[in-house]
Amino acid sequence: MENLIVRSSLMAARLENPPDPRRVAVEADVDAFLTGSLVRAGDRFRLTCQLIGAPGGSVFWSDSADSSMQDLFVLQDELCEHILQSLKLPLDEREQRSLRRDVPATARAYECYLRANQIAGTRTLDNMGLARDLYLQCLEESPDYAPAWARLGRVYHFLGKFDEDSGENLERTEEAFNRAFALNPDLPVTHNFSSLSG
C-alpha cells in the first residue's frame, strides 16, 4: 500500500510488553501502533484496543466491543475501518480489497491459528509439533487462509532442521510456502518466513 505500511507480527513480537512508544518508533520505524486485550468467557469475548502515537505515546483512538465468536470477523473488519478512519488515510479500491483478504473461514479455524502462534513462540520440538497440528486443524476448516500456510511452512522448516524426518519436513516446508504465495503473493509473513528458511 502506498498510503499505509504495516509492520509484520515478527517485528511486534520482538518488542517489550507493554511497548515503550519511543522504542517502537525507533525499532519499528512507525508513527503509530495498536495495543489491545481480549477476554473470553464461553462463546463471548470483550476486546479493548488503542491506537497509540509513536514516539509521543498519545492515544489517537480507542474502542471496546463485546461480541460472540460467530461475529469475530465482522468485528475485525469494523475495527480495521475505524482505525483507518482515525488515521485519516485515503485508500484506493485496491488497498481496500487488500485489507479484506486473508480472513479465516470460521472462528474455530482462527482460534486454532492463534493458539498455534502462541505455542510456536517458544521454539522446542514438542511445541512446534503441537503448533503444526493446530495449523493443520485450522487449514482443515479454512484451506485458503494464507497466513496459516506461511506459519505452517515455518514450523515444518524448524522440524526439518531438528527432527528425524528432516527430508519429509523440508519438502512440506516448500509446499506450505508455495501454497501461501499462491493464495496471497503480497503477504509479508510469507516473505519473512520463507527468506529465513532459504
Count: domains in the chain: 2
The reply to whether 36 and 82 lie within a common domain is yes
pLDDT in tens, 21-65: 888 878 878 888 888 887 888 878 888 888 888 888 888 888 888
Higher pLDDT, 8 or 124: 124
Question: What CATH number has the domain bearing residue 155?
Answer: 1.25.40.10
What is the spatial distance between Cα 89 and Cα 60, in angstroms, rounded to a whole number?
14
The reply to whether 59 and 93 lie within a common domain is yes
| Mean residue pLDDT across the chain | 82
Q: Write down the pLDDT at residue 99.
A: 57
DSSP annotation of 186: T
| Residue 82 lies inside a defined structural domain of this protein | yes
The reply to whether 33 and 86 lie within a common domain is yes
pLDDT in tens, 66-95: 887 777 777 777 777 777 777 766 666 665
What is the spatial distance between Cα 152 and Cα 146, in angstroms, rounded to a whole number?
10
Looking at 99, 134, 154, the residue that finishes a domain is 99
Where are the strands (E) in the chain, listed by range? 32-41, 44-53, 59-68
- The residue segments making up the domain with residue 79 are 9-99
| Side-chain half-sphere CA neighbours of 126 within 13 A | 0
Write the DSSP string, 142-153: -TT-HHHHHHHH
What is the spatial distance between Cα 68 and Cα 71, in angstroms, rounded to a whole number?
5
Looking at 58, 76, 99, the residue that finishes a domain is 99
Question: What CATH number has the domain bearing residue 81?
Answer: 3.40.50.10070
| Residue 4 lies inside a defined structural domain of this protein | no
| Residue 1 lies inside a defined structural domain of this protein | no
Question: What is this structure's pTM?
Answer: 0.61
Q: Where are the alpha helices (DSSP H) in the chain?
A: 9-13, 21-28, 72-87, 93-99, 107-120, 125-141, 146-162, 166-183, 188-197
Looking at 72, 99, 126, the residue that finishes a domain is 99
The reply to whether 92 and 119 lie within a common domain is no
| Residue 2 lies inside a defined structural domain of this protein | no
The reply to whether 44 and 113 lie within a common domain is no
| Residue 3 lies inside a defined structural domain of this protein | no
Q: Write down the pLDDT at residue 1.
A: 44
